[in-house]
Amino acid sequence: MGDERRHGTVNSAKSGKCNCDYFTKSTYTIRQDPPLYVREGSHRILIKYDDDKVSNNVYAYDVDFSVIEDSTGILGCFATYEEAAETKRKESQREKVQNESLTAEKQMAASYIHEIKNPIFSIRGFLQILHQSFSEDDKRKEYVNIIISELDRMNSLINEFLSKYKDDSFINGEDKGGTSVKKTIEEVVAFFQYGFKLKDITCKCDLSSDELVIMVDKEQLIQILINLIQNSIEAMKTGANLSIKAYAKDKTTCIVEIKDEGIGIRQDDIDKIFNPFFSTKENGTGLGLYITKKIINNYGGSIYLESTEGKGTTFYLEFPLISC
């Protein structure tokens, strides 16, 4: 059989058909039930997989058979195989197509989720303003608290979904052009003007003249600022002052300071303030600062605070700068 080219078809356990194209040296029969026929030598085996999603689903394998025998006869056979070079290329192309398809699906899902997040920020902000307009004994104040709590729970679930894809800049919602810290703070402060008037709060902004740009989604930065400023308003009495600063540190980091003259935070509570479901408010959800910290951390930033009970609290936000 030395140079004789043979073709055959055998059943494959994994798929439809297996076409063998090989050169053999000798053919052996190993006696068993049923008998095992072995063609010694190198073989090229083509396997066609039943995969309708792949147009070219034929894979090649190089297989070597060797018969083991001694003076008493055949003891068995030894077989090795490896993927042929073209099979490896096909598998690589197949994985590439699958990855591209999966990425497209993730981006589409994240795009829809991101669009859901945008109105949540606005709804929550106006609910907080509405909350301030009701007296403490007004039943509607309780209803608004429940709505805000449910919005926070919804937002937490959305952030948990998005965090699975945080390595993908698109899914993180990052704008490739970056977000202007100064413009965003000015927009949020304008949003709170009515809330400031209700409690006669003076808000002073000291924003760097340099254009501080950070790689953070604008809507998420707005959410962060709304959470912190709203907390400050609720902690302060009528006629208090609120200070907001933004500046660059070593031309690599953007610092945002939000300082209030509120009731402050007990020292025992400072270490727990970012824990989920921990709140110093009677009807607080305990998710606002937890979500805020999670968002900031996802962008490589950090948040910390200084507080003196009875005097006020200052929150410090740090973000990597992309331009200054």
Domain ranges (residues) in the chain:
5-83, 96-323
Separation CA 167–CA 153 (nearest Å): 24
CB 189 within 8 A of CB 201: no
3-state secondary structure of 49: coil
**What's the rounded mean pLDDT across residues 39-58?**
68
Mean pLDDT of 227-243: 92
Q: Read off the pLDDT of each residue in 83-95 and give the average, rounded to a whole number.
A: 67
User: In whole angstroms, how far apart are CA 95 and each of 46, 59, 106?
Assistant: 20, 14, 16
Q: Extract the tokens encoding 253.
A: 């980091």
Instruction: Look at 128 and 150; give whichever has higher pLDDT.
Output: 150
Q: Is the peptide bond preceding residue 276 cis, with omega within 30 degrees of 0?
A: no
CB of 241 closer than 8 Å to CB of 284 = no
Of residues 318 and 63, the one with the higher pLDDT is 318
96 residue type, one letter: K
Query: Is residue 282 scored above 70 in pLDDT?
Result: no
Instruction: State pLDDT tens for residues 208-217.
Output: 988 899 999 8
**163: which strand partners?**
none
Q: Quick check: 23 pLDDT over 60?
A: no
Q: Indicate if the pLDDT at residue 39 is higher than 80.
A: no
- Report percent pLDDT > 90 for the chain: 26
Mean pLDDT of the region 198-208:
93
The confidence score (pLDDT) of residue 236 equals: 93
Share of the chain above pLDDT 70, in %: 68
Q: Is the pLDDT of residue 134 over 90?
A: no
What does the alpha-carbon distance between residue 235 and residue 312 come to, in Å, rounded to a whole number? 8
Of 228 and 104, which is predicted with more confidence? Answer: 228
Which residue, 75, 67, 19, 13, is CA-closest to 43? Answer: 19
Helix (H) or strand (E) holding 31: none
Mean pLDDT in residue range 104-126: 71
Distance CA 212, CA 180 (A): 6
| pLDDT bucket at 8, cuts 50 / 70 / 90 | very low
The pLDDT of 266-274, averaged and rounded, is 88
CA 128 – CA 241 distance, rounded (Å): 19
Average pLDDT over residues 251-267: 94
End-to-end CA distance of the chain: 78
Arithmetic mean of pLDDT, 180-200: 89
The mean of the pLDDT values for the chain is 76
DSSP 8-state symbol, 4: -
φ, ψ at 13 (rounded to 5°): -70, -30
Residue 173 has pLDDT above 90, yes or no: no
In this structure, the strands spanning 241-249 and 202-207 are parallel
Q: Is the pLDDT of residue 167 over 80?
A: no
pLDDT at 285 (0 to 100): 64
Quick one: pLDDT at residue 148? 83
The full DSSP string for 189-246 is: HHHTHHHHHHTT-EEEEEE-SS--EESS-HHHHHHHHHHHHHHHHHHSPTT-EEEEEE
pLDDT, residue 53, reads: 59
CB 265 within 8 A of CB 278: no
Average pLDDT over every residue of 88-107: 70
Q: At residue 30, does pLDDT exceed 70? A: no
In this predicted structure, which of 2-6, 233-237, 287-291 has the lowest mean pLDDT?
2-6
* Phi, psi at 224, each rounded to 5°: -60, -50
For residue 175, pLDDT beyond 80: no
Beta bridge partners of 28: 38
What would be the CATH architecture of the domain defined by 96-323?
2-Layer Sandwich (3.30)
Confidence of residue 284 (pLDDT cuts 50, 70, 90): low
Which residue has better confidence, 61 or 34? 61
Beta strands (DSSP E) in the chain are 5-11, 17-23, 27-30, 36-39, 41-48, 58-70, 73-83, 179-180, 202-207, 213-214, 241-249, 253-260, 302-308, 312-323
Number of helices (H) and strands (E), helices first, in the chain?
Answer: 7, 14
